[in-house]
Amino acid sequence: MAHPDSFIERMGLAAESDGLSRIAGRLFGALILHSEPCSLDDLADQLGVSKASVSTEARRLLERGVAERIGKPGDRRDYYSLSSDFFAQIIRFRLSRWATLHRLAKEMHEEAGDLPRLVRERFAYIEDVNDFVLARVDEALREWSEHEGRPAERRRQRRTNTPKPVAKRQVVRGERLG
Amino acid sequence: MAHPDSFIERMGLAAESDGLSRIAGRLFGALILHSEPCSLDDLADQLGVSKASVSTEARRLLERGVAERIGKPGDRRDYYSLSSDFFAQIIRFRLSRWATLHRLAKEMHEEAGDLPRLVRERFAYIEDVNDFVLARVDEALREWSEHEGRPAERRRQRRTNTPKPVAKRQVVRGERLG
DNA sequence: CCTTACATTCAGTTTATACTGAACGTACAA
DNA sequence: TTGTACGTTCAGTATAAACTGAATGTAAGG
């Protein structure tokens, strides 16, 4: 199969189980595969969807910190490319949704006084797992962020030597954001 | 009584951003607050939804390993309660979805030969973050599983390095998981 | 056999959201 | 001013999924 297309298409599908639209997922896939920033019309054309959809969904990617808007001198168009730490941003976003769930349980635990023993134990169990498991992601993300922005010299374990998350491109017109 | 209901209701909302239906989320919330297993009709009645919905959504919770079916002697009805490690199961499920995304990127990286340098670097970056951050959750989950099987009692200890198992107490219902 | 008490599945309806074309707004150039 | 080239928003349609009542299936008791 045409690999790039099937990759993009499967990204679209995968995104649907993550609270994103299919187009947002395809957008994400397309941006991964492009080394140069893409204009809105480029993307609409390549994906075969309307400009309106690209505009809307691209904004959602911006809001999640996955993509960024790029300007080019002497060009009125907006260009989009992945942000340098897009993958970590996705993790952060998922963590924040998780935190919502956790906070909900925490509130309930604290505000309700007359809960049966087993129920109270459950809430305690939630706290436990959260501290035991999820706190590690947080920690790992923080550590990762410390390395971010510095060139070269990355590599934790496994696999071979890797350059570094992407260098920054020319940012001319970065601005407003929800 | 605002609290239990609002908790359940907010669970319903929260579930919607996690690939579950609203009813599944309410079901989940209701199960958290019940110390006794609930029959299908109990749940349908309490939540004000149809038995059909409870049947369907309860099965989804079963499949995710969040709830389990309980039988009572001399009673033909099915009862539902949370599985003892429901919270960890939720994390596992989310991890598996994440793995899908990751595998997708990995395949693309390996099978495509003529990618621009920047794109190859991106895929390498994905590998890096995955190894650096997500591997920790995996690890933490595995550690957690080693002393799994009891609902609570054992208190958190954030930050510090070795979580360490604790003496087990009442073993509730260590069951299989989907 | 028939009836009762369940759970599940089916078919239809409602509801939400993705997606679109067209209108609109804006900035720039002439 | 007009005209052009953009991006965004709006109003409507299409699509998918949630949800339901009713039908179906199953086992036990009579």
Task: Show the 3-state SS of B83-106.
Answer: CCCHHHHHHHHHHHHHHHHHHHHH
Label residue B107 exposed, middle or buried (CB < 10 Å: 0-12, 13-18, 19+): middle
Cα(B93)–Cα(B121) distance, integer angstroms: 29
Q: What percent of chain A has pLDDT over 70?
A: 81
Stronger pLDDT, A158 or B107, i.e. the higher one: B107
CA angle A157, A163, A165 (to 5 degrees): 90
| Token duo for residue A138 | 């947080």
Cα(A175)–Cα(B124) distance, integer angstroms: 29
Of A14, A130, A140, the CB nearest to B136: A140
**pLDDT tens digits, A9-22:** 999 999 988 889 99
Q: A58 touching B, CB under 8 A?
A: no
Nearest protein residue to nucleotide C7 (CA to C1' distance) is: B55
Does A167 have pLDDT greater than 80?
A: no
Read off the pLDDT band of A170 (50, 70, 90).
very low
Owner of token pair 């492009």: A34
Average pLDDT over residues A126-133: 91
pTM above 0.85, yes or no: no
**pLDDT tens digits, A93-121:** 999 999 999 999 999 999 888 899 999 99
Q: Which residues of chain B have pLDDT under 50?
A: 1-2, 149-178
**pLDDT tens digits, A63-85:** 999 999 999 998 999 999 999 99
How far, in Å, is the CA of B29 from the C1' of nucleotide D26? 31
pLDDT reported for residue B159: 33
Please indicate whether, in this complex, the C-beta atoms of A129 and B88 are within 8 angstroms of each other. yes
Does A59 have pLDDT greater than 80?
A: yes
| Token duo for residue B28 | 């989940």
